[in-house]
Amino acid sequence: MVMRNEKVLVVDAHEARRAELVRYLADVGVETQEATNCENALAALDVVTFALVFAEAELPDKSGYYLLRQVKDRHPEVEVVLLAEVANSYNLLQALRQGAFDFIVRPLDSGEILAPTLERAARHLALMRKNVQLLTELQGKTRALERGMEMLQALNASLERLTALGDIKDLLQGLLDSALTVLGAKCGFLVLIERESGDIGVKIGQGYPAGTVLRNSGKLPPGFITEVVRRRKPLIVADALPPDLAELVNEAEKGRLLIYPGILAVPLMLRECEAGLVVLCGHPEDHPFTVEDLHYLEQLSRHTALILEHVGSMHHLR
């Protein structure tokens, strides 16, 4: 395994010795940058991402051991290899205790002496990055699970409030209010389908200027909303509309009913028949809409439909 696409910092005040190490590293395809003392090395580490530092143990002013401690404090992900003309068990033990990746005793008769260190460093870097990737994936799954639990608790609370309502209009308004509150959307509306004519109109809205809902309460012209109703499938748009949907937006919808970024849309079904569509627009600044948000809206819509059927049955009996 070779350290490809990695940068190595070589720190040594002795120019010829430094050039020799740089040449050996270049021969095996390692890109290098040079520094002559601790201050220059630390300054370089602050602006360039290095995988490895080769540092001479004896440096002017401050030693390589000092540099080792500073690197591990400031950049713990960077590994440090110390080199020395003479080494004893005490220096070797101190270096390893302070976090040195390796300790090499000069002279470097050829670059072959560096090969085991570079191969081990390459394997170490690959393993560390794999661990970081796995940890990132685990954190993402954990956040999704936590978000799912939050949505489940919010759904239960919303349904408790909706169950206490006995009027159809209040239920529909409660559905929209709960969805906007829990998901933090900027605005939203509910369209209903006329049973006889099949016309689609906005019946309830929130977060819009006065008159917007009223102007769109009649038959909506063909556009984005009518197409989403026709498809009868939940829709999530994390940011701006994709081109195939953006071209469907008509003038009445653009900048009036549809507010970006982010859209959630879920069909409202009554007795297996589509009765309307719940649409939320404009996700919170720090939280684009997620699959968990869409699932919450689906469940809220489905359970609200069950409550509506119950309320309708009670009205019919009365």
- CATH classification of the domain holding 72: 3.40.50.2300
Q: Are residues 51 and 169 in the same domain?
A: no
- Residue 164 confidence (pLDDT): 79
| One domain for residues 61 and 187 | no
Q: Are residues 74 and 177 in the same domain?
A: no
Are the C-beta atoms of residues 241 and 263 closer than 8 Å to each other? yes
For residue 2, the model assigns a pLDDT of 62
Task: Give me the amino acid identity at 248.
Answer: L
Q: Is residue 153 part of a domain?
A: no
Do the Cβ atoms of 304 and 314 come closer than 8 Å?
no
- Structural domain includes residue 105: yes
Bridge partners for 201 per DSSP: 192
pLDDT score for 318: 39
Number of structural domains the chain divides into: 2
Looking at residue 63, what is its pLDDT? 92
Q: Are 278 and 297 in contact (CB under 8 A)?
A: yes
Q: CA-CA distance, 151 to 169, in Å (whole number)? A: 24
Query: Of 264, 274, 280, which Cα lies nearest the Cα of 305?
Result: 274
Q: What was the pLDDT predicted at 140? A: 82
Q: Which of 132, 156, 181 is the last residue of a domain?
A: 132
Same-domain status, 81 and 221: no
User: How far is residue 75's CA from residue 69's CA, in Å, rounded to a whole number?
Assistant: 10
Residue 294, sorted as left (phi over 0), alpha (psi -120 to 50) or beta, turns out to be alpha
Q: Are residues 172 and 111 in the same domain?
A: no
User: Residue 169: phi, psi to the nearest 5?
Assistant: -65, -40
- 273-284 residue pLDDT tens: 888 999 999 998
User: Looking at the structure, do residues 300 and 212 belong to the same domain, yes or no?
Assistant: yes
Burial category of 31 from C-beta neighbours within 10 Å (exposed 0-12, middle 13-18, buried 19 and up): middle
Question: Is 37 part of any domain?
Answer: yes
- In angstroms and rounded to an integer, the radius of gyration of the C-alpha atoms of the chain is 32
Residue 9 to residue 54: CA distance in whole angstroms: 6
Same-domain status, 13 and 58: yes
Residue ranges making up the domain that contains 274: 165-317
Burial profile 232-250: b = 16 or more Cβ within 10 angstroms, e = fewer: eebbbbeeebeeebeeebb
* Residue that the structure tokens 């909303």 belong to: 225
In a domain, 79, yes or no: yes
Is 40 inside a domain boundary? Answer: yes
Q: How many residues does the chain have?
A: 318
Is residue 158 assigned to a domain? Answer: no
Q: Which of 117, 132, 147 is the last residue of a domain?
A: 132
Task: Give domain status of residue 27, yes or no.
Answer: yes
pLDDT on residue 307: 86
Please indicate, yes or no, whether residues 94 and 197 belong to a single structural domain of this protein: no
Q: Is residue 235 within 8 Å of residue 278, measured between CB atoms?
A: no
Whether residues 202 and 299 share a domain: the answer is yes
* Phi, psi torsion values for 54, nearest 5 degrees: -100, 115
3-state secondary structure of 157: helix
Q: Which of 132, 155, 177 is the last residue of a domain?
A: 132
Which pLDDT score, from 0 to 100, does residue 235 have? 94
Of the candidates 111, 219, 44, which has an alpha carbon nearest to the alpha carbon of residue 53? 44
Say whether the peptide bond before residue 242 is cis (omega within 30 degrees of 0): no
Separation of alpha carbons 61 and 70, rounded Å: 14
Residue 237's beta-bridge partner residues?
Answer: 263
3-state secondary structure (DSSP) of residue 158: helix
Residue 96 lies in a domain: yes
Q: Which two tokens stand for residue 84?
A: 């020395």
Same domain, 96 and 189: no
**14 and 125 in one domain?**
yes
Is the model's pTM score more than 0.75? no
Same domain, 238 and 176: yes
Question: Where residue 232 sits, what CATH number does that domain have?
Answer: 3.30.450.40
Mark the ranges of the chain whose per-residue pLDDT is less than 50.
313-318
